[in-house]
C-alpha cells in the first residue's frame, strides 16, 4: 500500500499533442480516487503512466516516496484491471489468477492457497478449471479482478473495468468493487467516463478535460460546487440547466423573468453583460407544492411545460426557451465536449411525483435560488465558487464532511454561507 | 451457426457435402486402386484390380526402382523440411515486424510478397537454370531450396502477419504489469498464442514445397537433388512394353501419406479459435 503523487505530469505523444497536460495530484494511502472525463480526455494515458506502460514526458511520478518515472512496470508493484480484461486465453482461470504469483516464484502451496482465497472472494471457485473463452462477461471481469488482488500490490488501477458489461451487471460489479476496496483498503485509481460510477465509488473524484485537471473533490463537493461550466455540465444526470441572463442594474434578466440572487449567492457582476445561471433540475419545483416557508428563497415564474416524463418516484418536465445566438453556440460547444445529447435551450425540471402538471400547459414553476450558480460564459468559471476549490486536499474527509453537512441541513437555510469557503475545511454548502 | 435448420436444409447440406467429398477423393481412390493392380491388370477398364498385388510397392521400395524412388524421397523430405524451416523462421520475424511496428515500407513488403507469390514460376525457371549451371548450384540441395523459398516465403509472410495482427498484444502489457520481464511476457504469453499460427504456416509451406514439380524437374538432373514429383516422371516399366503407371501410383500413395499424417496430427493445433476469449466476447 502506498500513496501516489503526481507532480506536473505531462504526456506528449509522438505528434506533439499533449494528451495529459500539467497534472498534479496527490492520492492518499488507501484512498479511492476516480479519474473521470469524456472519452479522449487522457484518463487512460494518465493511468498508464502511473503503471508504467507509457513514458512520462515531464513531471514526477511518486509511489510511496519513491520516484518511479524510469521504473519498468514490473518494478512498480501495481496491479491493473484492463478495460477488456486482458485475460490469458491459453491459461485456465486458476492459472490466470496465479500468473503474477508464478512470476514472483511463489511456492505451489502458497499459490494454491492464495488463488483459492481470491476465487472464493469473487465467487469463482467452481470455474477455476475453465478457460476464459467459456466464461460470461461478468465472470471474465471477476477473473481480471482476481488476478489483480491475488498479489499484494501497492495500488489497484482500473481502466473502465465495467464498460463492457450490461447495465444490470455493471451495477452489481460496482457494488462488488466498492466492497472489495473497502475490505482490502488498498489505494485505488479508477478510470471511468460513467458518472454514476464516479459519484458512487470514490472518496474523491478528479475531473479531466482535454488532459487538464479541472477539479479534484469529493463527489458531493463536485456536485454542489463545480468550479466551472465543464464540471457542472459533466456531473449530474440529467445535467445542470444553464440559463442565459443579461446583467442590468445589478439584476439578472433571464428568459423567465428577473432574478434577484440571495445574499449567499450574490457575486460581483460589475463589468459583465451576460452570465449563465446554472440550476440543477431538482432546484426547480411545481410552485403549487412549494411550502410558504421556503417560497421566499426562490423565484416563481410561468413556464410552458412541453413534455413530462413520469418515472414513478419523480417526474421530469421539459421547458423550451429562447436564448441569444452566441450563448446558444457556446452551449452547443459545451455539449459536444461533454458528449451529451441534452438540448440545452430547454430546461429539464425535476418535479415532485405528486405534482399534477399537464403536458403542453403553462404552469407556475419555482426555482430555489439558494443553490444556483453563476458562470462566466466566456471562461466558464463558476463565480459563486472560490477558485481555491479547484483541488481539495486528500483526506479521509468524505465521512467527516458528510457529517458536517448533516448538521448543516438541520440548522438549514438561514446560515449565511461564507463567501469564500476555505479549501480543505469541510465544505459548507447550504443546500436542500 | 444457426441451430434451427430445417430437415430439408440439413439434407441439402449432406448432399452437397457428399458430392464435394466424392469429387475430391475419387482421384485419390483411383490412384490407390491403381497402385494395387498388377501390370497386366492396369488397363482392365475396371475400377478395382482383379487381384490385389503388392508388386508395385515392392518395386519402388526394394526392387528395381528403389534407387530412383528412395533417393528422391530422401531429397524431398530433406529439401522441404529445410525450405519450410527457413521460410517460417524468416517470415515469423517479418510478420512480427509488420504486425507490431510502424515503419515506412510496410505495405511495400506485403505487396512485393504478393507479387512474388503470383509470379509465374515457368517464366523464371529457364534463366534460373542457366544461372545455377554457371554458379554451380545446379542439381544441388541449395539449388532447389532457394527457389522453394520464393514459393513458401510470400505465403508464410501473408498468413503469419494476418495471424499476428489478431493476437491481443495488450496481453504483453498485462503480463508486464503482473511482474513479467519483456522476455517473460513474450515467452509465457505471446509464444503460446503465436504457436498455432506458426504451425499452420509451417504445414502450408511444407505442402507447397512438397508438391512442386517445375523447379524439381528443371533444376536437377540426377538423384543428388531430384525430389519425388520430378522423379515420378523418370519411372519406367519392367519392360518397354509395360507402362510404369502402377509404380507411379504406388509412389504417389507413399508421398501422400506424410501429408495425411501431418494434417491429422496437427489438426487440433490449427485451432484458430485459441485466441478467442482474451478480449470481451
Ligand atoms: N498511442 C497514441 N499516440 C498518439 N495519440 C494518442 C495515443 N494514445 C492516445 N492518444 C491520444 O491521447 C488522447 C487521450 O487518450 P486516452 O488517454 O486514451 O483517452 P481516454 O482514456 O480518456 O478516453 C486522445 O486524444 C488520443 O487520441
Ligand atoms: Mg480510455
- Between A336 and A220, the higher pLDDT residue: A220
Q: Ligand 1 mean position to A211 CA, how many Å?
A: 10
Question: Per the CB < 8 Å rule, is B277 touching A99?
Answer: no
Q: How does the average pLDDT of chain A come out, rounded? A: 85
Do A311 and A203 lie in a common domain?
A: no
- Is the model more confident about A93 or about B167? A93
Mean per-residue pLDDT, A214-221? 94
Measured CA to CA, the distance from residue A208 to residue A76 in angstroms comes to 24
What chain B residue is nearest to A148 in terms of C-alpha separation? B178
Domain-located, residue A301: yes
Q: Which residues of A touch B (CB under 8 A)?
A: 51-53, 72-74, 77-80, 82, 84-90, 99-100, 103-104, 131-135, 137, 140, 147, 151, 164
> B19 lies in a domain?
no
Residues B129 and B143: their CA atoms lie apart, in Å, by: 10
A37-53 CB burial, b ≥16 within 10 A, e <16:
bbeebbbbbbbbbbbbb
Would B185 be classed as within a structural domain? yes
Q: Is residue A425 part of a domain?
A: no
Distance from the Cα of A155 to chain B's closest Cα (Å) equals 12
Mutate to test the interface with A, among B179, B182, B190 (most CBs of A within 10 A): B179
> Please, which residues bridge with residue A375 across strands?
A276, A382
> Own/partner pairs for A26-30, CB < 8 Å, 24+ apart?
A26/A393, A26/A394, A27/A3, A27/A155, A27/A187, A27/A189, A27/A394, A28/A3, A28/A187, A28/A394, A28/A395, A28/A396, A29/A1, A29/A2, A29/A3, A29/A187, A30/A1, A30/A185, A30/A186, A30/A187
In a domain, B129, yes or no: yes
- When pLDDT is cut at 50, 70 and 90, the band that residue A423 belongs to is very low
Domain total of chain A: 2
From atom 6 of ligand 1, which residue's Cα is the shortest distance away? A13
Q: What is the pLDDT of residue A190?
A: 96
Which among B173, B176, B276 is the nearest to A89, CB-wise?
Answer: B276
- How much is the pLDDT for B270? 56
Burial class (CB in 10 A: 0-12, 13-18, 19+), B169: middle
A342: pLDDT strictly greater than 60: no
Find the DSSP H helices in A235-360: 292-295, 325-337
Q: Identify whether the C-beta of residue B50 lies closer than 8 Å to the C-beta of residue B44.
A: yes
Cβ–Cβ below 8 Å for B275 and A100: no
Taken in order A73, A74, A75, A77, the sign of the CA dihedral is positive
- Do A57 and A176 lie in one domain? The reply is yes
Gap between the Cα atoms of B146 and B189, Å rounded: 33
Q: Is residue A398 one of the residues assigned to a domain?
A: no
CA distance A122 to chain B (A): 19
Ligand lying closest to the C-alpha of residue A159: 2
The verdict on residue B38 lying in a domain is no
In a domain, A426, yes or no: no
pLDDT of res. B148: 94
Residue of A nearest to B276 (CA): A133
Q: What are phi and psi of A151, to 5 degrees?
A: -110, 155
CATH code at A31?
3.40.50.300
**What was the pLDDT predicted at B102?**
86
Q: Is B8 on the interface with A (CB under 8 A)?
A: no
Same domain, A270 and A137: no
Q: Taking a C-beta distance cutoff of 8 angstroms, is the pair A199, A205 a contact? A: yes
What is the ipTM score, two decimals? 0.78
Measured in angstroms, how far is the CA atom of residue A46 from the centroid of ligand 2? 9
User: Is there a domain that residue A164 lies in?
Assistant: yes
Rounded-to-integer distance, Cα B80 and Cα B148, Å: 8
Alpha-carbon gap: B45 to the closest alpha carbon of chain A (Å): 54
* DSSP assignment string, B209-247: HHH--HHHHHS--STTT--HHHHGGG---SSTTS-THHH
- Strands A18-27 and A4-12, how do they pair? antiparallel
For chain A, the residue count is 432
CB B281 within 8 A of CB A137: yes
Mean pLDDT value of segment A412-430: 38
Hey, which of A3-7, B167-171, B252-256, B259-263 has the most confident mean pLDDT? A3-7
Domain that holds residue A309: 237-382
Q: Is the dihedral of CA B191, B192, B194, B199 positive or negative?
A: positive
Q: Which three cell numbers stand for residue A256?
A: 423567465
Say which CATH number the domain at A357 has. 2.40.50.140
pLDDT tier for residue A389 given thresholds of 50, 70 and 90 = low
What total number of domains does chain B contain?
A: 1
Closest protein CA for atom 14 of ligand 1: A42
The verdict on B170 touching A (C-beta cutoff 8 Å) is yes
Interface test with B, best of A90, A93, A144 (most B CBs within 10 A): A90
Query: In chain B, which among 248-277 make CB contacts under 8 A with chain A?
Result: 273-277
Task: pLDDT band for A341, please (50, 70, 90 cuts).
Answer: low
Residue A396 within a domain:
no
Based on the fold, state whether residues A162 and A243 are members of the same structural domain: no
In sequence order, what are the residues at sequence separation of 6 or more whose Cβ sits closer than 8 angstroms to the Cβ of residue A336?
none
Give DSSP secondary structure letters for A20-80. EEEEEEEE-TT-EEEEE-STTSSHHHHHHHHHTSS--SEEEEEETTEE-TT--GGGT-EEE
**Cβ contact (<8 Å) for B171 and A104?**
no
Asked if A72 and A191 sit in the same domain, the reply is yes
User: How do A298-304 and A284-286 pair as beta strands?
Assistant: unpaired
Whether B117 contacts chain A with CB within 8 A: no
CB B159 within 8 A of CB B269: no
Residue A73 sits in the same domain as residue A189: yes
Cβ pair B178:A147 closer than 8 A = yes
State residue A102 phi and psi, 5-degree precision.
-60, -40
Where helices occur in A203-347 by DSSP H, the ranges are 219-224, 229-234, 292-295, 325-337
Q: What is the pLDDT of residues B220-276, one digit of tens each?
A: 998 889 999 888 888 776 666 667 888 888 888 988 887 888 777 776 665 443 333
- Name the grid cell of A283: 432546484
**Ligand 1 pocket, CB under 6 A:** A 13, 17, 19, 37, 39-45
Same domain, A32 and A77: yes
pLDDT at position B54, please?
A: 87
A259 and A346 in a single domain? The answer is yes
Same domain, yes or no: A298 and A362: yes
- One domain for residues A293 and A201: no
Residues A111 and A13 in one domain: yes
Residue B279: the pLDDT is: 39
Confidence of residue B3 (pLDDT cuts 50, 70, 90): low
Residue B201 lies in a domain: yes
How does pLDDT run across A231-249, given as a tens digit for each residue? 999 998 888 999 989 888 7
**B251 within 8 A of B235, measured Cβ to Cβ:** yes
**Predicted confidence (pLDDT) at residue B120 exceeds the cutoff of 90:** no
Domain extent at residue B224 = 66-234
Q: Which CATH number characterizes residue B84's domain?
A: 1.10.3720.10
Statement: residue B117 has pLDDT above 70: yes
Closest CA to A339 of A36, A18, A19, A37: A37
Report the distance separating Cα A315 and Cα B242, nearest Å.
Answer: 98
Question: Quick check: is A265 in a domain?
Answer: yes
Rounded percentage of chain A residues whose pLDDT exceeds 70: 88
Asked whether residue B95 is assigned to any structural domain, the reply reads yes
**Which range, of A225-229, A388-392, B76-80, averages the lowest pLDDT?**
A388-392
Geometric angle at alpha carbon B159, from A140 and B181, rounded to 5°:
50
More confident residue, B19 or B39: B19
A161 and A20 in a common domain = yes
pLDDT for the residue numbered B16: 95
At B131 the pLDDT is: 94
**Around B196, how many Cα atoms within 13 Å sit in the side-chain half-sphere?**
18
Res. A128: pLDDT tops 70: yes
Amino acid at each position: 500500500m502506498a500513496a501516489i503523487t503526481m507532480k506536473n505530469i505531462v504526456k506528449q505523444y509522438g505528434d506533439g499533442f499533449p494528451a495529459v497536460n500539467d497534472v498534479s495530484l496527490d492520492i492518499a494511502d488507501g484512498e479511492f480516487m476516480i479519474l473521470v472525463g469524456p472519452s479522449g480526455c487522457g484518463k487512460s494515458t494518465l493511468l498508464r503512466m502511473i503503471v508504467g506502460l507509457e513514458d512520462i514526458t515531464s513531471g514526477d511520478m511518486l509511489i510511496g516516496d519513491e520516484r518511479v518515472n524510469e521504473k519498468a512496470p514490473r518494478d512498480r508493484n501495481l496491479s491493473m484491471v484492463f478495460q477488456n480484461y486482458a485475460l490469458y486465453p491459453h491459461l485456465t482461470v486458476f492459472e490466470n489468477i496465479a500468473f503474477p504469483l508464478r512470476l514472483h516464484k511463489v511456492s505451489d502451496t502458497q499459490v494454491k492457497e492464495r488463488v483459492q482465497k481470491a476465487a472464493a472472494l469473487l465467487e469463482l471457485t467452481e470455474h477455476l478449471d475453465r478457460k476464459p473463452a467459456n466464461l460470461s462477461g461478468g465472470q471474465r471481469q471477476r477473473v481480471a479482478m482476481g488476478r489483480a488482488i491475488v498479489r499484494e500490490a501497492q495500488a489497484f488501477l482500473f481502466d473502465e473495468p465495467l464498460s463492457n458489461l450490461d447495465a444490470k451487471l455493471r451495477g452489481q460489479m460496482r457494488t462488488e468493487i466498492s466492497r472489495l476496496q473497502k475490505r482490502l483498503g488498498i489505494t485505488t485509481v479508477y478510470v471511468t467516463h460513467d458518472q454514476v460510477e464516479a459519484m458512487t465509488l470514490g472518496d474523491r473524484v478528479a475531473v479531466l478535460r482535454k488532459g487538464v485537471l479541472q477539479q479534484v473533490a469529493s463527489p458531493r463537493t463536485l456536485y454542489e460546487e463545480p468550479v466551472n461550466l465543464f464540471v457542472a455540465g459533466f456531473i449530474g444526470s440529467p445535467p445542470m440547466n444553464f440559463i442565459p441572463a443579461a446583467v442590468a442594474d445589478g439584476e439578472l434578466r433571464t428568459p423567465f423573468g428577473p432574478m434577484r440572487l440571495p445574499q449567499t449567492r450574490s457575486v460581483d457582476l460589475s463589468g459583465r453583460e451576460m452570465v449563465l445561471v446554472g440550476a440543477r433540475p431538482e432546484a426547480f419545483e411545481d410552485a403549487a407544492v412549494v411550502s410558504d416557508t421556503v417560497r421566499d428563497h426562490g423565484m416563481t415564474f410561468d413556464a410552458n411545460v412541453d413534455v413530462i416524463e413520469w418515472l414513478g418516484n419523480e417526474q421530469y418536465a421539459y421547458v423550451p426557451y429562447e436564448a441569444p445566438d452566441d450563448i446558444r453556440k457556446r452551449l452547443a460547444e459545451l455539449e459536444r465536449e461533454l458528449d451529451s445529447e441534452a438540448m440545452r435551450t430547454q430546461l429539464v425540471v425535476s418535479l415532485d411525483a405528486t405534482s399534477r402538471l399537464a403536458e403542453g400547459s403553462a404552469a407556475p414553476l419555482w426555482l430555489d435560488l439558494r443553490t444556483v450558480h453563476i458562470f462566466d460564459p466566456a471562461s466558464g468559471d463558476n463565480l459563486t465558487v472560490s477558485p481555491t476549490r479547484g483541488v481539495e486536499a486528500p483526506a479521509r474527509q468524505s465521512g467527516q464532511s458528510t457529517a458536517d453537512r448533516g448538521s448543516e441541513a438541520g440548522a438549514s437555510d438561514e446560515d449565511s454561507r461564507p463567501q469564500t469557503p476555505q479549501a480543505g475545511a469541510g465544505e459548507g454548502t447550504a443546500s436542500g | 451457426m444457426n441451430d434451427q435448420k430445417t430437415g430439408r436444409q440439413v439434407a441439402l447440406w449432406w448432399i452437397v457435402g457428399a458430392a464435394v467429398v466424392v469429387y475430391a477423393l475419387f482421384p485419390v481412390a483411383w490412384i490407390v486402386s491403381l497402385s494395387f493392380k498388377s501390370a497386366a491388370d492396369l488397363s482392365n477398364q475396371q475400377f478395382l484390380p482383379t487381384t490385389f498385388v503388392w508388386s508395385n510397392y515392392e518395386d519402388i521400395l526394394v526392387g528395381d526402382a528403389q534407387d530412383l524412388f528412395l533417393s528422391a524421397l530422401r531429397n524431398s523430405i530433406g529439401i522441404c523440411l529445410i525450405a519450410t524451416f527457413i521460410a517460417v523462421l524468416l517470415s515469423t520475424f517479418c510478420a512480427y515486424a509488420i504486425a507490431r511496428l510502424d515503419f515506412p515500407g510496410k505495405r511495400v513488403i506485403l505487396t512485393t510478397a504478393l507479387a512474388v507469390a503470383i509470379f509465374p514460376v515457368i517464366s523464371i525457371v529457364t534463366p534460373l537454370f542457366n544461372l545455377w549451371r554457371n554458379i554451380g548450384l545446379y542439381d544441388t540441395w541449395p539449388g532447389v531450396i532457394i527457389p522453394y523459398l520464393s514459393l513458401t516465403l510470400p505465403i508464410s509472410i501473408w498468413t503469419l502477419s494476418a495471424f499476428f495482427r489478431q493476437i491481443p498484444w495488450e496481453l504483453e502489457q498485462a503480463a508486464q504489469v503482473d511482474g513479467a520481464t519483456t522476455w517473460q511476457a513474450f515467452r509465457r504469453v505471446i509464444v503460446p498464442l503465436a504457436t498455432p499460427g506458426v504451425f499452420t504456416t509451417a504445414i502450408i509451406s511444407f505442402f507447397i514445397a512438397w508438391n512442386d514439380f517445375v523447379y524439381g524437374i528443371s533444376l536437377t538432373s540426377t538423384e543428388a537433388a531430384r525430389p519425388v514429383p520430378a522423379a515420378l516422371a523418370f519411372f519406367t516399366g519392367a519392360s518397354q512394353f509395360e507402362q510404369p503407371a502402377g509404380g507411379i501410383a504406388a509412389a504417389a500413395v507413399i508421398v501422400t501419406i506424410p501429408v495425411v499424417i501431418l494434417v491429422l496430427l496437427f489438426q487440433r493445433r490449427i485451432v484458430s479459435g485459441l485466441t478467442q476469449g482474451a478480449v470481451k466476447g
